[in-house]
Structure 1
Amino acid sequence: MQTHHLSCHRAHAPLSVTAVEVRWGLVGSWLQLRWRVEGAARVIVPPFAGRVRRDGLWQTTCFEMFVRPEGRQTYAEYNFSPSEAYAAYDFAGWREGMAERAISHAPVITPRRAAGVLIVDVAIPLADLPPLPAALSLTCVIEEEGDSKTFWAMDHGESAQPDFHQPACFAAALAAPECDEIRN
């Protein structure tokens, strides 16, 4: 498992959230991710929706992943809500040619909240990702009581406003699994 601490975009300061960490790794034929939000007592968690596909999840607390195959401009975006709703899109280039991405299985999204911490676990089949190896961007939008939204990413680059689609956000690498890893 790899761990990365996300940074909040400088244009939007959090009210109570103190840190966001994300861990990820390949387990058999699945990519598993865990976002951990510290200082989450005031974080707004959308109501339970079940494993349904839904647009606009980023308008409130939402966890996101972007995957860009090595050597390509095309990429996929995945949105995971603590409500257990999800979305998946393909892009032909930076914010161009958006289309719904076909996936074989709804991601498994498991939120937990206790003592000022919000944890959101996600498992998604490798078959539903673009070809690996790929550049990876893990991000989130956090909405807090008091009409505050913050935007967390591995890297924000020089952008004056948050933009998770920009190349600087793709700050990690997701390697292709070894054949033995897939069989386990």
Structure 2
Amino acid sequence: MSKFALVCHPATPDAAVSALGAEVQPDAAGLAVDFHLSGELAALRIPDVATPLPPERLWAHTCFELFVGAVGEAAYREFNFSPNGQWMRFDFADYRARVPSPAGPAPRIAVSADEGGLGLSVLLPAPLLPAGRLCIGLTAVVEHADGSHTYWALRHPVAQPDFHHRDGFALALHAVNP
């Protein structure tokens, strides 16, 4: 598994989160991603199983995200994973040009938490991934108790947080789908 540190966008500094990272492992079953947030969890709003959210707005709360596209293609997918176990998929034909998402298998999600951290593990089945060489954006939105948000990613290519910007898809992997 390869480990990556996510960085907070400089426009939204975060004193409550001491570290946010991800581990990524492609294999024949799909793509496994483990997100790890360390910090003062009491200072954050973290949805729990008893807190269902509108699936199309998981990103408006503490949420781990994965953006996946094929190198050289404009199309990409966005996956949102909430600590309450919910998830959502968005398909795009080009930058923020949303198109209907075809049916597909559900990812497997596991969440763990203790006083110093939050973990979310997901296995995206291979059929949810494009074929060929992948470019991936690992991101997270962290909601604070006061309702403010911070934005974390492998790379922040523009002045304002924008996870859809293709230059933020900073991880290159070979797809598990030939």
Tell me the TM-score normalised to structure 1 length.
0.88
Secondary structure of 2:59's counterpart equals helix
What's the counterpart of residue 160 of structure 2?
161
- The question of 1:173 aligning with 2:172 is answered yes
What's the counterpart of residue 85 of structure 1?
86
Shift of the alpha carbon at 1:90? 1.1
Aligned 8 A contact 2:76 2:92 in 1: yes
**How far, CA to CA, are the matches of 1:132 and 1:53 in structure 2?**
32
> Cα 1:107–1:31, aligned 2, differ >3 Å: closer, same or farther?
same
Runs of 4+ aligned structure 1 residues displaced above 3 Å come to 49-53
RMSD: 2.1
What's the counterpart of residue 57 of structure 1?
58
Aligned 8 A contact 1:64 1:138 in 2: yes
Shift of the alpha carbon at 1:49? 6.3
- The question of 1:9 aligning with 2:35 is answered no
Shift of the alpha carbon at 1:178? 8.6
Secondary structure of 1:163's counterpart equals coil
| Structure 2, gaps ≥5 residues long | none
Secondary structure of 2:167's counterpart equals helix
Shift of the alpha carbon at 1:28? 3.1
Secondary structure of 1:162's counterpart equals coil
What's the counterpart of residue 151 of structure 2?
151
Letter in 2 for 1:81: S
Alignment of 1:20-169 (within 5 A): 20-41=20-41, 42-48=43-49, 54-96=55-97, 98-157=98-157, 159-169=158-168
Letter in 2 for 1:135: C
Q: Between the two proteins, what is the percent identity of the paired residues?
A: 33
Tell me the TM-score normalised to structure 2 length.
0.91
| Structure 1, gaps ≥5 residues long | 180-184
Aligned 8 A contact 1:156 1:169 in 2: yes
**How far, CA to CA, are the matches of 1:39 and 1:52 in structure 2?**
23
Letter in 2 for 1:169: G
Q: Which has the higher strand share?
A: 2
Query: How many correspondences in the alignment?
Result: 177
1:68-97 per-position Cα deviation (integer Å, ceiling 9, x unaligned): 11211111111111111111111111112x
Letter in 2 for 1:166: H
